[in-house]
Structure 1
Amino acid sequence: MNIKKMSDLSEKVVFLTGAAGILGTQYATALSNAGANVVLADLNYTRCKKMEIKLKKEFDVTPFSLKMDISNKKSIDNGISKVMKKFSKIDVLVNNAVFPETQKERKIEFEKFPLELWNKIFAVNVTGVFLCNQKIGSIMVKQQKGSIINISSMYGIVAADQRIYGNSGLNSTAAYAVTKSSLFNFTRYLASYWRNTGVRINTLTLGGVENNQDPKFIRKYSEKTMIGRMAKKNEFTGALIFLASDASSYMTGSNMVVDGGWTAW
């Protein structure tokens, strides 16, 4: 058994949504470092294009930038058609895109939360994942192989501790919690549905990332983790590579939690 070979993604085509985000850029770099040709799908095409040039030069891979609205079926269908025309396959799908809640939106009281905003969050966090899984999953079934990773949050498992957030605007909305929670059973359903097809699907559940938040908030948050701090931006990439590669070949329908021990108390 060659451990390095098990985690090797050389020549694999990885479709990454939300590629231009804070974690998306980390995932794209790690996947490229593992040898993958990463499809950088995001509304921010300019940022993806800059990343494409950087990754190609640094890792000698073939990244592909794609402007795509994950809440729009036509945009997804057109984007995937372009990818298939270029690569003729998709080996891995990472459903990483998430609705970008603003601090103002996070401060809205639940009793006054607008239905329009609720629907917008669902359109990205749930419907977008459904559309990508449906379209790309169908391709993987025909290939008789593929790995799908649905990115969730610890707040899909447990309630946000409102005491550490106050009125900071750093909290997530109820819509975020509901959408992220839904991914667990969606993953299990598809794992069962696509059994014996060669398609594996798992959830990767993440904790909070340190990103220049207020020091008081960071301290309060860190006290609730067993490791005693927030995650660094690159600390989820190892788990992602594991789930994307043959290293996790006997794993499907599962949820891998990387939250510093937050949900294990």
Structure 2
Amino acid sequence: MTAPPARYDLTGRTALVTGAGGLLGRQHVAALVDAGARVVVSDVGLAQADATIAAVKEIAPAADLVAAAIDVTSQASVAAAGDDLAGRGIAVDILVNNAAIDPKVTSTPGVMHSSRFEAFPVPQWQTEIAVGLTGAMLCSQVFGGAMARRGRGVILNIASDLGVIAPDQRLYRQPNITRDEEQPVKPVTYSVIKHGLIGLTKYLATYWADQGVRVNAISPGGVFNNQDPAFVERLTRLIPMGRMARVDEYCAAVQFLCSDASSYMTGQNLVMDGGRSVW
């Protein structure tokens, strides 16, 4: 019988993480490095990628990390990155579609809040969809397509608990605002993108099932990042475990989903939300 640690071992495999400069992106890179993978650390600019590399190197000095600037909204940029890596002899075995825009919910009293559905700006819709959903499709086309031609690979889409449930807009209400149309809300784009990623996961899992490519998603719950205490208190009341996630609590799940430990799992969405979606 194979020992459990061996099934998690990613030594000899290369992973690519998009949006690696973000809060969870950096954690995904660290998790994959810890499992032995070489990681292509990508973001829209090299500065963001280099910052993640520096942070990961502090805890794992021997980590094999490659920086890449990829605009996931651009088919040409994604294709060029694929060609560049291939020209350097780097084949991507694991793709983590993490790039996203997570709009911050704020409000200015006295005006129709632009996060509300009735006033939501079309350019913002297009920009956020382009990064969070179209970007995952383009990266899957290029890097997942190459995996399918080689007959082996893993794609992990980073969804959200709000890809499973609707936002509870009461979380974002401001007590000093009396008019509903001025209250901030979680924008429509976030839910649409995260639901879409789960749909993309199921589509690709069946599309490439006979070509050795497994595709799964993970839906994290809210991660504590020094948010407003009143917001944190309201949110934790909705979570059976009574707290938000720590920033490193998804690392082991990422290792599981990207390794042979999950070799008979595809087309699934692993929900890790402290139980919020159960209530």
Structures share a fold, TM > 0.5?
yes
For 1:112, the equivalent position in structure 2 comes to 119
Q: Distance in 2 between matches of 1:234 and 1:55?
A: 13
1:130 aligns with 2:142: no
For 1:255, the equivalent position in structure 2 comes to 269
Task: Kindly indicate whether the alpha-carbon contact (under 8 Å) linking 2:114 and 2:120 is maintained by their aligned counterparts in 1.
Answer: no
Percentage of identical aligned residues = 37
For 1:202, the equivalent position in structure 2 comes to 216
1:184 positional shift: 1.6
1:47 positional shift: 3.1
Q: Distance in 1 between matches of 2:174 and 2:81?
A: 39
Q: Distance in 1 between matches of 2:115 and 2:102?
A: 15
Partner secondary structure for residue 201 of structure 1: strand
Of 87, 91, 94 in structure 2, the residue corresponding to residue 92 of structure 1 is: 94
Q: Distance in 1 between matches of 2:57 and 2:36?
A: 11
Unpaired segments of 5 or more residues in structure 1?
none
1:54 positional shift: 5.1
What letter matches 2:41 in structure 1?
A: L
Which is greater in Rg? 2
For 2:81, the equivalent position in structure 1 comes to 79
Q: CA RMSD in A?
A: 1.9
Counterparts of residues 163-242 of structure 1 (less than 5 Å): 163-167=170-174, 172-242=186-256
For 1:153, the equivalent position in structure 2 comes to 160
1:33 positional shift: 1.3
Question: Relative to structure 1, is the Cα distance of residues 247 and 122 closer, same or farther in structure 2, using a 3 angstrom cutoff?
Answer: same
Q: Distance in 2 between matches of 1:216 and 1:87?
A: 50
Deviation sequence 1:96-127 (CA, Å, 0-9, x none): 00024244598522101111111111111111
How many equivalent pairs are there? Answer: 265
Q: Distance in 2 between matches of 1:123 and 1:225?
A: 31
Task: Kindly indicate whether the alpha-carbon contact (under 8 Å) linking 2:102 and 2:190 is maintained by their aligned counterparts in 1.
Answer: no
Question: Relative to structure 1, is the Cα distance of residues 103 and 242 closer, same or farther in structure 2, using a 3 angstrom cutoff?
Answer: same
Q: TM-score, normalised by structure 2?
A: 0.89
Q: TM-score, normalised by structure 1?
A: 0.94
Unpaired segments of 5 or more residues in structure 2?
108-112, 176-182
1:207 positional shift: 0.5
